[in-house]
Amino acid sequence: MANYTITAANVVPSAAAIKSLGTAGETITPGMPVYLKSSDGRLWKADADASLETATVAGIALNVASAGQPLWICTQDPEFAHGTSATSGALWLSATAGALCPEADVYAVGLYPQCIAALYADTVTLAALNCSALYTPEVGA
């Protein structure tokens, strides 16, 4: 299966969302999962198979930002408008930087599976987002 496509304008947090502000380390667009790089303290596109650090998702980007510009991220949201092409199941971090994919794509050697959000069955444009989940990334076997 392929990565989900993201429609940036459709990525919208709810009023109950928990948001955080950081600085982009590269060009980021709404809907992209991002991680916090320890070496520069900036937010970069998360990646499921680059390293444990890149696979530790800090949140979902909420705005367009170039390197050095402010970047808002959503870390938790019970009704997050995810803006992806997913219509069921959950959103998982992809092995493509800044992308999300279905669960079927995450079980591979050298990949750190991480579930980001679960779609609502009745309103598929919304998802329960939790980037602070207790799920511990593991290398796929």
Partner 1 sequence: MSAVSITAANVLKSASAVGPFTKNAGATITAGQVVYLDSGTDTLKLADANLSVAAATVAGIALHGAYSGNPCQYVAVDPAFVVGGTLVAGQLYCLGATAGTIVPVTDLTTGDVRAVLGVANSTSTLNLNCFSGTVVGP
What lies within 8 Å, CB to CB, of 113 at 6+ separation is 48, 92, 93, 106, 107, 137, 138, 140
What lies within 8 Å, CB to CB, of 50 at 6+ separation is 97
Closest CA to 58 of 132, 118, 129: 132
Determine if 91 is a binding residue for partner 1 (CB under 8 A).
no
Nearer to partner 1, 62 or 127 (CB): 62
Q: Alpha carbon of 99 to those of 15, 16, 39, 96: distances in Å?
A: 25, 24, 22, 6
Nearer to partner 1, 24 or 95 (CB): 24
Determine if 18 is a binding residue for partner 1 (CB under 8 A).
no
Closest CA to 13 of 55, 66, 63, 85: 63
Site stretch for partner 1 (CB under 8 A), options 12-20, 42-50, 101-109, 114-122 = 12-20
Given candidates 2, 5, 52, 69, which one binds partner 1 under the rule CB under 8 A?
69
Helix (H) or strand (E) holding 33: strand 33-36
- Shortest Cβ 66–partner 1 spacing (Å): 4
Mark residues 25-64: x for contact with partner 1 by CB under 8 A, - for none: --x--x-------------------------------xxx
Given candidates 6, 43, 65, 111, which one binds partner 1 under the rule CB under 8 A?
65
Which residues of this protein are in contact with partner 1, per CB under 8 A? Answer: 8-9, 11-13, 19, 21, 27, 30, 62-72
